[in-house]
Amino acid sequence: MHYQDHTPKWTGKATTDLVTAWKSFQQHTEFWFAGPLAKTAEAQKCNYLMIWIGNKGRDIYSTWDLSVDDKKKLDVHYQNFEKHVRPKSNKIYSRYKFLSRVQKEIDTFEEYLTDLKILVKDCGYATPEEMVRDAIVFGTKDHKVREKCITEGSELSLEKAINFARTYELSKAQLQTMESEDKTINMLNKQGSRSSGKKYGKQYTPQRGTPQNNKGQSPNFANKCKNCGGKHERRKCPAFGKQCNKCHKYNHFASVCLSSNKSPKKMHTLDICSESDDDELFVATIDNQELNTDEWTETINVNDVPVNFQLDTGAKCNVLSLNKLKTICSHPIITKQVSPLRSYSGHIIDTVGVINLRCSYKCQDHAVKFHIVDRNVQSVIGAKTCEAMKLLKRIHSITQTKNPQETTKQFFTRKYGTPIWRFIHRPRMSTRNT
């Protein structure tokens, strides 16, 4: 039989609560007789019971004076065993166990309630439901549940107390889940606010260190400005909008740059994919695994693993397949996805989440955020990352002049002097036969 390891076993030790132990054993045997042994005759069920009862139980059985018919009745065996253990049940001890049972920090309310209902059976109380109700009020680990129950006063029933405790426990679990998700969203929003100033990661930086008015000073002029090194009217710093030649950041001069006092960072954290919750990130077609020779690709070391990426200047984020991620990290920690991905065709792309990975390119390390897709797709580096990692260089667009002749005059005048512009004429048609 396949169930031999799960057959009922009776110990009958005097050190245990015999009534509780017998009830548990009897319930186990009843499950067997209603399950695997359902088709067994009642006389054989009695034999099974005597096999499971052990030597101690068979010694008790030998003291009974049963007729031949009673030996074949299962109910008679149950009743005699219950009579044997019942006098040895101690109500004082049972009530002590019931009154001492309080809800521990690791206990759920359902576990606590189940134990109370089991313990109260052997206490012999005239109103067991009221005792369980009182035990919930006195023994609950949640102060708000106790306060709610006491507020009900004499109107409090066992059913109300149970509903209060269950509702509060469920609400607390849901609130913890919401707060954990809010922390993740707030962290993403905070990252997004750092790179939301200008397109492609160039952010607006307010004037740093602009001092406030001091007593006795003119309200129109500040102290020595930390951005330009001089004195000027407020909000009229000449360094505003200028790029530092030392650290290449904006809104201060190299003469007052503080970057020289700091050791250069080995890894650059790129908030190049920080988007708001409602933004939709567009990516190109990523299902094509066969890259054309004309497409721009670059091999980048991700956590010291070389990965071939397609450089997509039209993509607003970086994409990596889940299979590729598993080859890079054995146990990746993926954060829940906030912003949806949408292809150029308008289809929503399901994502597993996002993860920050260390990318190395030309002896420079960068912390780059990737959107993980559970599909066999081509790895993609978006426009912001391409520019931040100097994979691509943006060339300024060529503007068309309304009067090209005037522009040409100005150029030659600056380069060769005033007389040269007189020899400029419109292009002539060639008279040679072709």
Do 375 and 289 lie in a common domain?
yes
Q: What is the pLDDT of residue 399?
A: 59
- Does 115 reside within a domain? yes
Residues contacting residue 342 through CB under 8 Å, at least 6 positions apart: 280, 281, 282, 283, 348, 349
Q: Is residue 367 part of a domain?
A: yes
Same domain, 282 and 304: yes
What pLDDT shows up at residue 192? 52
Residues 163 and 78 in one domain: no
Judged against a pLDDT cut of 60, whether residue 39 lies above it is answered with yes
> Are 120 and 164 found together in one domain?
yes
Nearest to 387 by CA among 324, 318, 319, 328: 318
Among residues 31, 63, 88, which one ends one of the domains? 88
In a domain, 320, yes or no: yes
Q: Which of 56, 88, 120 is the last residue of a domain?
A: 88
Q: What share of the chain is helix, strand, coil (3-state, %, to 5)?
A: 40, 10, 45
Together in a domain, 242 and 281: no
Could you tell me if 331 and 367 lie in one domain?
yes
Question: Domain check: are 257 and 279 in the same one?
Answer: no
Choice between 263 and 283, residue whose per-residue pLDDT is larger: 283
Q: Any idea which of 223-227, 286-290, 354-358, 377-381 has the lowest mean pLDDT?
A: 286-290
Asked if residue 175 lies in contact with residue 152, where contact means CB atoms within 8 angstroms, the answer is no
Q: Is the pLDDT of residue 214 over 60?
A: no
Query: Do 33 and 11 lie in a common domain?
Result: yes
Tell me the average pLDDT of the chain: 75
Same domain (yes/no): 58, 95: no
Show the domain range for 73. 4-88
> In the prediction, which pLDDT does 130 show?
92
pLDDT tens digit sequence for 126-178: 899 999 999 999 999 888 899 989 998 888 999 999 999 999 988 888 888 87
Question: Is 322 part of a structural domain of the chain?
Answer: yes
Domain for residue 185, yes or no?
no
Angle of helix 54-61 relative to helix 42-52, nearest 10 degrees?
120
Strands (E), 208-294: 267-269, 281-283
- Residue 286 exposure: Cα atoms within 13 Å on the Cβ side: 34
CA dihedral over 398, 404, 410, 415, signed as positive or negative: positive
pLDDT of residue 136: 93
For residue 369, pLDDT over 70 is answered with yes
Q: Which of 88, 120, 139 is the last residue of a domain?
A: 88
pLDDT attached to residue 163: 92
Q: What are phi and psi of 282, to 5 degrees?
A: -95, 135
CB 185 within 8 A of CB 191: no
- Residue 363 resides in a domain: yes
Checking if the pLDDT of 423 tops 90, the result is no
Q: Domain tally for the chain?
A: 4
Distance (Å, rounded) from C-alpha 15 to C-alpha 368? 65
% of the chain residues with pLDDT over 70 = 67
User: pTM for the full model?
Assistant: 0.32
The DSSP annotation for 370-414 comes to: EEEESS----EE-HHHHHHTTSS-PPPPPPPPS-HHHHHHHHHHH
* Domain assignment present for 321: yes
Question: What pLDDT was estimated at residue 344?
Answer: 62
User: Where does 71-179 show beta strands of DSSP type E?
Assistant: none
